[in-house]
Structure 1
Amino acid sequence: MYTHQKQIITAGTPLDKAKGALVLLHGRGGTADNIISLADEFNIDDIAIVAPQASNHSWYPYSFMMPVSQNQPALDSALQIIGELVDDLIAKGIPAEHIYFAGFSQGACLTLEYVARNAKRFGGVIAFTGGLIGKELVTTNYKGDFNNTPILITTGDPDPHVPLSRVEESAVILKNLNADVTVKVYKGRPHTITGDEIELANQLIFA
């Protein structure tokens, strides 16, 4: 088992001139460099883009639907990397309400898990095919108040990695923490990010 080394790729507006920040989390087998190109599709200006790189190109070794203990210590290490990154952004003058998150697949699961455990008013959250992590969801892990933070979760039905039932279960938990949640399900869509999802993200999160 493994923990993550802190490797952060940056793009966009330099932090000292940025009005906000976007944290991008890549999927299993992906890279920070690869996910950063996604930011080109978003309607964002004056935003610093930060993308951590997972060790072994994977945030945790097994399916997100496995017992959490089987994905340790990698999962806790990944959550710690994001927490330190967010603390660093805030320390450099970017308030939480101007911090956005977007992730795909494993990165989408990690995005939702981090924000649900640390709910506060963020700029917005995008989970392209993801859900909260664990064989069963332990609701006591999730705390705080999103204060109407917009959260978009998109998924295919069926999806080979993310059951629709888990997406729906996750949405309920996020709503109970006062998030403004939108779930969009695409029948028969392959495990990818489509143009329609990008458009929806721009409408709901980066409007």
Structure 2
Amino acid sequence: MGEVTGTRVAPLVALRRESADEAAGALVLLHGRGADEHDLFPLLDLLDPERRLLGVTPGGPLHLPPGGRHWYALGGIPTPDPATFHDTAPRLEAFLDALELPLEKVVLGGFSQGAVMSWAMSLGPGRARPAAVVAMSGFLPRVEGWPLSPERLAGLPVGIVHGSLDPVIPAEFGREAAEVLSAAGADVLRLETAVPHMVDPAWIEPLRELVRKATTTA
């Protein structure tokens, strides 16, 4: 394995969008490779327009070529580089655990690498159950020493959305995730639209409804 060169940033930086009143939960969105904490910040208002939730967009701790922030170095699909993944995962765990709201009130989501890390945090060893997961254009990570437990999300809402024209992470990985989570008993919302590696505006309304239901108590 080649040496990964980069500068780690500690602690994780993050943008916050406060709730309008007392927060009913939190919405945490993780950006993709080479972006940063600003990238998905506009999605907070799109997915939670009434500002019922605390919104948080942390930045990945690695600076790697070709620029921007990263959650791990590329190791292939669906195999993140183990060294950088195992370095980052505990730091993201600590960030989530330090939120003022417990994870069971947090909708955790992300795009591309951010979707991968959302799965890692939701299904990885010793993790608590979030309120819901929103995985946009990602894959279930296969990393030695980081087993996934899909059954942990049984009964919980899970949004899995992907572009059928995605040249970066093929749509088959979104289909695989939907099949695995459905078989594990999760309440899966599956959307696949004819777009490349991007967030399709057509996804916003159904994901907004998923976020609302996941954070509304009877």
Shorter-chain TM-score: which interval? 0.7 to 0.9
Amino acid at match of 1:108: A
Cα distance change, pair 200–64 in 1 and its aligned pair in 2 (3 A): farther
Correspondence for 1:85 among 78, 82, 95: 95
CA contact (8 A) 1:121 1:147 kept: no
Give the 5 Å matches for 1:29-178: 29-43=34-48, 44-54=50-60, 55-56=62-63, 57-62=69-74, 64-65=76-77, 67-68=79-80, 71-89=81-99, 92=100, 94-117=101-124, 120-134=128-142, 141-143=147-149, 145-178=152-185
* RMSD value, Cα: 2.6
* Residue matched to 2:66: none
1:10-51 Cα shifts (integer Å, max 9, x gaps): 32227x943311211011111102222221211253322222
Secondary structure, counterpart of 2:155 in structure 1: coil
CA contact (8 A) 1:121 1:148 kept: no
Secondary structure, counterpart of 2:40 in structure 1: helix
Secondary structure, counterpart of 1:153 in structure 2: strand
CA contact (8 A) 1:103 1:111 kept: yes
* CA-CA distance at 1:81 after TM superposition: 2.2
Give the count of matched residue pairs. 198
User: Counterparts of 2:22 and 2:177 in 1: how far apart (Å)?
Assistant: 35
User: Counterparts of 2:110 and 2:78 in 1: how far apart (Å)?
Assistant: 20
Cα distance change, pair 81–29 in 1 and its aligned pair in 2 (3 A): same
Cα distance change, pair 132–166 in 1 and its aligned pair in 2 (3 A): same
1:133-192 Cα shifts (integer Å, max 9, x gaps): 23xx88x811262241111111111311212222222223323443211221113x1211
* Residue matched to 2:216: none
1:55-113 Cα shifts (integer Å, max 9, x gaps): 21111221551544xx1321122221221122112xx3x23221111211111122122
CA contact (8 A) 1:6 1:53 kept: no
CA contact (8 A) 1:120 1:146 kept: no
User: Counterparts of 2:24 and 2:15 in 1: how far apart (Å)?
Assistant: 15
CA contact (8 A) 2:115 2:135 kept: yes
1:10 maps onto 2:15 in alignment: yes
Cα distance change, pair 67–126 in 1 and its aligned pair in 2 (3 A): closer
Q: TM-score, normalised by structure 2?
A: 0.78
CA contact (8 A) 2:165 2:197 kept: no
* CA-CA distance at 1:7 after TM superposition: 2.0
Q: TM-score, normalised by structure 1?
A: 0.82
Task: Indicate the percent of aligned positions where both proteins have the same amino acid.
Answer: 25
Unmatched 5+ stretches in structure 1: none
User: Counterparts of 2:152 and 2:79 in 1: how far apart (Å)?
Assistant: 26
User: Counterparts of 1:78 and 1:46 in 2: how far apart (Å)?
Assistant: 29
